[in-house]
Amino acid sequence: MIKKKIALTGDRPTGKLHLGHYVGSLATRIRLQEDHKQYVMIADAQALTDYAHDPQRVRENILQVALDYLAVGIDPQKTTFFIQSLIPPIAELTIYFLNLVTWNRLKHNPTVKAEIQQKGYGEEVPAGFMIYPVSQAADITIVKADVVPVGDDQLPMIEQTVELVRKFNRLYKTECLIEPKALLSPMARLPGTDGLAKMGKSLGNAIFLADIPDEITKKVKGMYTDPNHLRVEDPGKVEGNPVFTYLDAFASDKEKVEDLKNHYRRGGLGDSVVKKYLLEVLLAFLEPIRKKREELAKDPKYVMDLLFRGTDQVNVIAHQTLKEVRQSMGIDYV
């Protein structure tokens, strides 16, 4: 039997997941679980790197994120879920990795830089936040992941992980750590309902997997389109028009989407008609997800137990990796 490739990915539990998460990585995970040994981690410790003031929010969202996973069809029979902070070897490996990266290198991570700007930290960046890419490298390597399905904003983290693995293996003359590969989503990043490049839970431009039909309706009606498409007769722009980007991502009738695009470009097709169709598509996509989510939410203990059982399994593997790490470094005193 050939050994299955190992996949690991995760999310920070700071809010419910949305359509951007679906397109960016949940869809890939549903696919990967069929032929990979897949781990999905709830990154509560990483969430605390910028939510240290609100651990309660992180705690509450562990269940919410787990519900989202199960509702979209990440299958606990095929995927192992776990909670990051309950795996002590991740923290220990992070400490050793920190000695193999320079402060200067950390300062130049483009995603971290953008986040520092967005959060308005200025010079007062929490040190834990600054080093989260290193702890993410430990998340990935502790289970010896081969692939990491992520959105493009996470590419710098995978690059950082590869650098650390190479450095570790070279320095300690070992092959115990595995270089992971990023697996990018086949679909482009989903813009926000406001037309901004990224859908974000804190940006007020997201459609959540748990949204009820009334909310979805309100959000789709209020969506940004082509600002120059003032009258129905005017030709409209399809590129950069999030209504069409969403249709590309979620409508299965590709021919109908092409027809709508052509008509819109020619002129004579009103925004409200396109939005009405998008609403139909999204309601049909999200309805079964919401129903399943509501059903599962009635039994939070079942869901939390799944996470705890997965965590136990991962701890066994993580301790084994850590043992090899300590042996390679020659600090296996006991």
| Upper half-sphere CA count for residue 106 (Cβ side, 13 Å) | 21
Q: Closest approach of Cβ 257 to ligand TRP, in Å?
A: 29
According to the binding rule CB under 6 A, does residue 43 interact with ligand TRP?
yes
Examine residue 12 and tell whether it contacts ligand TRP (CB under 6 A).
Answer: yes
Question: Does residue number 68 form part of the binding site for ligand TRP (CB under 6 A)?
Answer: no
* Interacting positions 145-184 with ligand TRP (CB under 6 A): 148, 150, 154
Q: Decide: is 9 part of the binding site for ligand TRP (CB under 6 A).
A: yes
Return the residue matching tokens 């389109």: 225
CB count within 10 Å of CB 151 equals 20
CA-to-CA distance for 281 and 269, rounded, in angstroms?
A: 18
Decide whether 21 or 290 has the Cβ nearer to ligand TRP. 21
CA–CA distance, 106 with 94 (Å, rounded to integer)? 14
Q: Is 265 helix (H, G, I), strand (E, B) or coil?
A: helix
Closest by CA position to 177, among listed 85, 91, 86, 96 = 96
**Candidate segments 5-13, 64-72, 93-101, 272-280, binder of ligand TRP by CB under 6 A:** 5-13
Question: Does position 11 bind ligand TRP by CB under 6 A?
Answer: yes
Q: Which of 28, 33, 38, 46 binds ligand TRP (CB under 6 A)?
A: 46
Q: Does 80 bind ligand TRP (CB under 6 A)?
A: no
| Using rule CB under 6 A, residue 20 touches ligand TRP | no
Stretch that binds ligand TRP, among 136-144, 235-243, 284-292, 299-307 (CB under 6 A): 136-144
Closest Cα to residue 47, out of 178, 202, 167? 202
CB 185 within 8 A of CB 23: yes
Site size toward ligand TRP, by CB under 6 A: 13
Helix (H, G, I), strand (E, B), or coil: what is residue 162? helix
Q: Which residues bind ligand TRP (CB under 6 A)?
A: 8-12, 43, 46, 136, 139-140, 148, 150, 154
